[in-house]
A and B are shown apart, each in its own frame.
Chain A
Amino acid sequence: MRRECKIKVLKGTDLFTIEVVGDLTASAEKAMDDAYKQVCDNNPRSILLKFDGKSRINSAGIAIVINLVMQRQGKDCKIYITGVSKHFRKIFELVGLTKFTTIVDSEEEIKKL
């Protein structure tokens, strides 16, 4: 069954993290919008969307990720995604989100990029 989505914002200096625990679906839209506002108000150079490794993401969840990409377009901000399963990596590639985001295996990998 679906897992409730809990969202937390972790503020860094250059990298801001939006931690997503649970499934990303339409019911998380308001909470994610609030998280985006918190993050984007700081005009970060990079944002990490950190899923918990078991998160299911449906088409409404994909739209929520696209909303973040839209908000950061033209603002010299890199968006990284981590903690997604092999299946949802494939889904992100299928819809083309990997043109606008970078999927990494771990937070540490960002430092090496």
Chain B
Amino acid sequence: MLGAVVSIAQAPGTIQDIGMITDNNGTVSIDVTEPGDYVFSVFYNGQKYQVSSTLKPQNQDISIVVG
């Protein structure tokens, strides 16, 4: 899923308010400054979705799959 816009809707701490664009694999990179439960807003093809994930305290890639 290329080109989805991913932004953090809820996080356990302070986040940078930047939006992320998924690559060819539907992946975005998250600079995790605080581990915990995150909720993401995903905007793709005119539709808005919400997904959640528990992140660990290191930079990591998150795969976004819509379908």
Task: Indicate, yes or no, whether A interacts with B.
Answer: no
